Amino acid sequence: MADSKRRRGRSFGSVRKLGSGRWQARYHDATGRRHCAPQTFAAKADAARYLATVEADMLRGVWTDPSLGMATFAEWVQQWQATATQLRPSTVATYDYLLRRFLMPAFGEVPLGRLDVLAVRGWLASLHRDGEVTPTTIAKAYRLLRRILAVAVEAGYLPRNPCTVKGAGVERTREMRHVSVPELLRLAGLVPDRYRTMVLLAGFGGLRWGELVGLRRRHVELADATVTVAGQVTEVGGRFIAGPPKTSAGLRTVPLPVVGMTALVEHLDRHAQPGPDGCCSRPRPGDTCSEATSAGRSGSRRSPRPGWRGCGSMTCGTRRRRWRRRLGPPPGN
């Protein structure tokens, strides 16, 4: 009689004793589909507590189908990639690298349901401990993992995102030291003539390499001594792809000093393609556009930063000894 009352009192799920002596918990979801707990229990009370937890999750709207959690991370990534939209080619290339280099070796064969906070923390700790990659790269890999698993939560494959490590996705960069005007002018005098204006625009206007290569004649306003940044060129897998700036903040109009504008006028006359849509970095005879932009990249990015650790105004990294001989000792030495 007491057992009959307990059975009638249990409104959600059921438990049964298996031949092994362990207990199994079973229940139905909102669609009527029956599910079994992913594990069996030593005691009947443990199985009942599991059912109570599942029922509470359903009432809160956070329950997920356990069978979906059996899909491996690699299988889920394939689904995520098929639905990821509005990604720039450079972003796709970066994601492919991070997946291949960091995420797949660590989590590829792991079922989604087994990805918990401790697994993510252990992965992060091993990357920092090995010291083979920079903290910036680790932060990028963590953000990608968090983004992929966030979609898994949204799709009902996971009840919650295990990427909850505070500050793990933050890129901490040291403060850059910028070249002085005399140093910038000296540097511009050392590069080939066709790249001199690129150095000056980078230094005086803060334009990045992709924005410099993406400049067209119509972006230059001689009367106002300004250039408008309306696009950029990115290099992906050896190909150069033109597109809009990465964010709306990248769309801007930049004023130039007289020395920069004078050099730009001379550059347009000698090196730019004709017409309003003409590229400001015209290929040399025999060059393809890719070869020209690649050469321009080499000329505009390789330059020294005071202290000889790379130029902050142009995001440069260079052969320090060669530039030390050409420019002389760093300021203050």
Alpha carbons 124 and 139: distance in angstroms, whole number: 9
Q: Cα dist. 21→15, 35, 43, 223 in Å?
A: 12, 20, 9, 89
- Residue 151 is predicted with a pLDDT of 94
User: Phi and psi for 106 in degrees, rounded to 5?
Assistant: -85, -40
In terms of Cβ atoms closer than 10 Å to its own Cβ (0-12, 13-18, 19+), residue 11 is: exposed
> 3-state DSSP call for residue 227?
strand
Per-domain boundaries in the chain: 2-63, 69-154, 181-327
Scanning the structure block, which residue is given the tokens 């290339």?
93
> 3-state DSSP call for residue 68?
helix
Q: Which has the minimum average pLDDT: 27-31, 145-149, 315-319?
A: 315-319
Q: What residue type is 153 in one-letter code?
A: V
**Is residue 56 over pLDDT 70?**
yes
What pLDDT, in 10s, does the model give residues 99-136? Answer: 999 999 999 999 998 899 999 999 999 999 998 899 99
What is the token pair recorded at 121?
């923390």
Share of the chain above pLDDT 90, in %: 31
**Is residue 32 over pLDDT 90?**
no
Bridge partners of 105, per DSSP, are none
- Residue 314 is predicted with a pLDDT of 34
- The number of beta carbons lying within 10 Å of the beta carbon of residue 301 is 20
CA atoms within 13 A on the CB side of 6: 8
* 69-154 classified as CATH 1.10.150.130: yes
- Residue 284 is predicted with a pLDDT of 53
What pLDDT, in 10s, does the model give residues 240-276? Answer: 777 777 777 778 999 999 988 898 888 888 888 888 8
- Give just the sign of the alpha carbon dihedral 129, 130, 131, 133: negative
pTM for the model stands at 0.60
CB 290 within 8 A of CB 239: yes
- Residue 10 is predicted with a pLDDT of 55
Predicted confidence band of residue 288 (pLDDT cuts 50, 70, 90): very low
Long-range contacts of 37-42 (CB under 8 A, 24+ apart): 37/66, 38/66, 38/113
